[in-house]
Amino acid sequence: MLFENMQFHNVEELEPSATLPGFILQRFPKEVRHRFGREGDQRGRFIAAMSTGCEIRFVTASPVIRITLSAPITGGDIVVYNGDYVHSVHRLEPGVPTTLHLEAPAGFKEVLPASLRQGGRFSPDVWRVFVSRSYLGGPGFQVAFHRLETFGYEYRPPLPSEMPARRWIAYGSSITQGSGATVHHQAYIQQAARRLGLDVLNKGMGGSCLCEPEAADFLAAHNDWDVATLELGVNMRGHFTCGEFMARASYLIERMAGQQPGKPIFLLNIFPNSADFLRDAVHPTAVANRDFREALRNMHSQLGLPHLHLLEGESILTDFSALTSDLIHPSDYGHSLMGQRLAEEMQDLI
């Protein structure tokens, strides 16, 4: 969306903050967020309100920029880019508006302009203010935008030619949302997107990817994407039977495939985790891992759509030691490995 001559990427709404002046970057519209969890589990309403994965993008000739942001509830980190080049990392403390002082990279003027565009997705002229992750860990944090100061220089949103031509919408668990990575750009979705030249709309729902019909309808109606990944199942273990998982996942898949015919959709089966190696092989979580995976395989086979692809989790996370010690979330190494493997699997199919 566009606001005050800037692009707010992966942002569906700018909601006035209840605690400080400014506008919270929201990845889901309020009317969707507030319908999650109507059957009892309310976590999705909280997770959907996290700003992690949102960006503020603009282009200006100003040599000095100041942008004021705040983290209304919990603190976290902001990563600033010039195109695909990391410029700086900044920390927002909770409840305190923070002004980031940014200076245009002096080294950019010393090299041939064409050299800065080698292999990048974005023009180096594009400032990208990226919401990374909470420094307390967890699924993310909220960020509010206050103002941009360019000291009399004009600024504008990026042109289409200055950004990737194709967008990837990603729905899934905290793994898709980036948990386990020390900075969000290490997350497997971001790693794969860089390799594939795609722009990312990250709609990950840490601990609350429940294939709710509200999420399905929202994702299906969202027409601003060219490729989709659906990482399904892991958050539904222990909450739903296999039959309930199949019903919800089928509705999501069929809605997206029907609403956006021909666009590549990748189903990501449950990634390897501790439940695959439990001492008790008939533990309910171990059984759910096996049953949910087989259910997704059957759904993919029964639908038989040429643009619907199934990727097995073990073909993406190929090294169990690439997990953190919780034995479910990938480490930085794990996210990097998964990003590489996922890009290789998707490359020829998109």
Strands (E), the chain: 2-3, 6-9, 13-16, 23-26, 55-60, 64-70, 76-82, 85-92, 98-103, 126-134, 144-149, 155-156, 167-171, 199-202, 227-231, 265-268, 308-311
Show the tokens assigned to 5: 């001559």
Gap between the Cα atoms of 305 and 295, Å rounded: 16
Phi, psi dihedral angles at 61 (to 5 degrees): -90, 0
pLDDT of residue 193: 97
The domains located in the chain, with CATH, are 2-161 (2.60.120.260), 164-347 (3.40.50.1110)
Identify residue 158 by its one-letter amino acid code.
P
Res 102 pLDDT > 90? yes
Provide CB contacts within 8 A for 126, sequence distance 6+: 57, 58, 59, 81, 82, 83, 158, 162, 163
Predicted confidence (pLDDT) per residue in 291-306, tens digit: 999 999 999 999 999 9
Q: Look over the chain and give the mean of its residue pLDDT values, rounded to a whole number.
A: 95
pLDDT at 173: 96
> Residue 119: pLDDT band by 50, 70, 90 thresholds?
confident
- 334 pLDDT more than 70: yes
pLDDT in tens, 155-209: 999 999 999 999 999 999 999 999 999 888 899 999 999 999 999 999 999 999 9
> Residues near 28 by Cβ (< 8 Å), separated by ≥ 6?
12, 48, 49, 203, 218
3-state helix, strand, coil split of the chain in percent (to 5) is: 35, 25, 40
Nearest residue to 1 via CA among 19, 17, 13, 16: 13
Q: What pLDDT score does 42 carry?
A: 79
SS3 331: coil
- pLDDT of 346 higher than 80: yes
> Looking up tokens 């700018």, which residue turns up?
14
Tens-place pLDDT, residues 130-170: 999 888 776 689 999 999 999 999 999 999 999 999 999 99
Residue 4 has pLDDT above 80, yes or no: yes
Rounded CA gap, 265 and 268, in Å? 10
Q: What's the CA dihedral at 130, 134, 138, 140 to 10 degrees?
A: -40
What is the pLDDT, as a whole number, of residue 225? 96
d(CA 137, CA 317): 22
The yes-or-no verdict on residue 235 having pLDDT over 80 is yes
pLDDT grade for 41, boundaries at 50, 70 and 90: low
Closest CA to 184 of 95, 307, 78, 301: 78
> Angle 242-259/284-303 helices, nearest 10 degrees?
30
Q: Beta partners for 202?
A: 170
Taking residue 154's Cβ as centre, other Cβ atoms within 10 Å add up to 10
CA distances (Å), origin 307, targets 103, 256, 258: 44, 11, 11
- Give first-to-last CA distance, the chain, whole Å: 25
Q: Whose CA is closest to 129, among 152, 172, 164, 99?
A: 99
Q: Cα–Cα–Cα angle for 311, 212, 188, nearest 5°?
A: 35
